[in-house]
Amino acid sequence: MKMIDDYKQKDVLVLGAGKSGTNAAKVLKELGANVTLNDAKDRSDLPELNEIEDLGIETITGGHPDDLLARHFDVLVKNPGIPYDNPVVAAAENKQIPIITEVELAAKITDAEIIGVTGSNGKTTTVTMIANILNQQRDKGTAFAAGNIGIPATEVAQKATKDDTIVLELSSFMLLGIKELHPHVAVLTNIFSNHLDYHKTRENYVNAKMRITMNQTADDFFVVNFDNEEWRNLSSKSNATVVPFSRESVTDKGAYERDGKLYYNDEFIMDADDIKVPGKQNVENALAAIATAKALGKSNLAITNVLETFKGVRHRLQFVLESDGRRFYNDSKATDIEATQIALEGFDKPIVLIAGGLDRGYTFDKLVPQLKEHVKAAVLYGETKELLEDAAKKAGVDDIQIVDTLAEAVPKAYADSDSGDIILLSPANASWDQFKTFEERGDKFVKEVENLTHKQEEAE
């Protein structure tokens, strides 16, 4: 870790605990800052605060007091999920207090090469693919995956050296809080209309995503999905060297698929069917990883060693197990319609779909074509079960089961399936009606599958 002086004797407010907040507070304390950590949760829900306070860090819990900024602070490090219209954040903006997120702090304290990956879907899988490829045939150093993937960027930055690489998954929320973060390679997987409750407009959301490339120069690389005109046009706003990737062969440069084969600048890399994880979306993720790896000089063998064996990331179209000819997949991370559309299009066998979750006030008509083409039966639960039922009926799905909980859905789905079918949890909704996180939802699905089949989840 670089012992920078930027925060020495500065008064810093860390807003929001959790993994990233508590680790940021520790790093700032080590850098000589006077740190205050504030979280809306009650102290009883934050057992990690004992360790924080032992380091001499002040803590304030149970809310974000409106008068918190009556005190002097030089910097605010904000949890990405806390919106900018939060009273404390708004007050900091009015006082022109610099507001950053934890990934910006991580970038300041490391000499490691940084690769940043953003997009609406596919970030975690792409990050993991890239990190795994970069660790192949590596003479020195290690590639670490961090950021929105669930590992605090500062935690990795503390141990990373100049010989290492940090592959950061960067959400739009994180990117709003960067100033100097400068990835050598920035990757844009795709952009749909997500998180508009936070960003208010699609334009704001797109602009947040594009901050990933704002500090890049011509010596850097901007890896962009060229399968959409909007995304192609966005690449012109970057100062970096653009490296396209395309599944629909709209480019003959960069990484692309043609006739079921994957190429980089007309060099054959591998057959698309040899990618271990299923689905067109994972071909796109693989192409993004190939473009990044080749831009950084990695060999074809390093790429194929990973992509031909990579089983996927937990909760992202993760293969769970096979029983009586049925293959179970956990796609709990599919928290929007687009992710479920992509998941359904990834299989060429009949699907029994388990879906449902938090009602955000929209219908599921966009899902009708994929339901019609791929789904033989649907088991629907949660707040949106009736809305999903309406879409399934429009799609002509004959076998529709309505239940209250995910635990009830798993045995119903099995009963509706035959040997050779796919049983897929791909909710098309956020998890918060019944679960705290999509991870908790996915873990519950896996547990219920194990209970039903009397088998254990296959190791990743």
CA distances from 158 to 140, 201, 409 (A): 18, 36, 44
Listed range (30-34, 200-204, 225-229, 289-293) with the worst mean pLDDT: 200-204
Mean pLDDT, residues 155-180 taken together: 96
Instruction: Tell me the pTM.
Output: 0.84
Per the CB < 8 A criterion, the answer to whether 157 and 85 are in contact is no
Looking at the DSSP bridge assignments, the partners of residue 122 are none
Q: What is the pLDDT of residues 10-24, one digit of tens each?
A: 999 999 998 999 999
pLDDT on residue 174? 96
Binding residues for ATP are 119-125
Selection from 314, 341, 339, 342 nearest residue 329 by Cα? 314
Binding residues are 119-125
Selection from 387, 349, 384, 347 nearest residue 368 by Cα? 387
DSSP code per residue over 353-381: EEE-----S---GGGHHHHHHHEEEEEE-
Q: What is the pLDDT of residues 367-406, one digit of tens each?
A: 999 999 999 999 999 999 999 999 999 999 999 999 999 9
Query: How far is the C-alpha of 303 from the C-alpha of 136, rounded, in Å?
Result: 8
Q: What is the pLDDT of residues 210-234, one digit of tens each?
A: 999 999 999 999 999 999 999 999 9
Tell whether the model's pLDDT for residue 63 goes beyond 80: yes
Q: What is the pLDDT of residues 71-98, one digit of tens each?
A: 999 999 999 989 999 999 999 999 999 9
pLDDT on residue 250? 67
Looking at the DSSP bridge assignments, the partners of residue 352 are 377, 423
380: tokens are 């629907």
Tell whether the model's pLDDT for residue 460 goes beyond 70: no
Going from the N-terminus, what domains does the chain have, and what CATH number goes with each? 11-100 (3.40.50.720), 103-307 (3.40.1190.10), 318-453 (3.90.190.20)
Q: What is the pLDDT of residues 105-150, one digit of tens each?
A: 999 999 999 999 999 888 999 999 999 999 999 999 999 999 999 8
The most distant pair of C-alpha atoms in the chain lies apart, rounded to whole Å, by 67
What average pLDDT is seen over the chain?
94
Q: What is the band of 198 on the pLDDT scale with cuts at 50, 70, 90? A: confident
Tell me which H or E stretch contains 270: strand 267-271
Question: What's the distance, CA 33 to chain centroid?
Answer: 31
pLDDT on residue 94? 95
Per the CB < 8 A criterion, the answer to whether 118 and 188 are in contact is yes
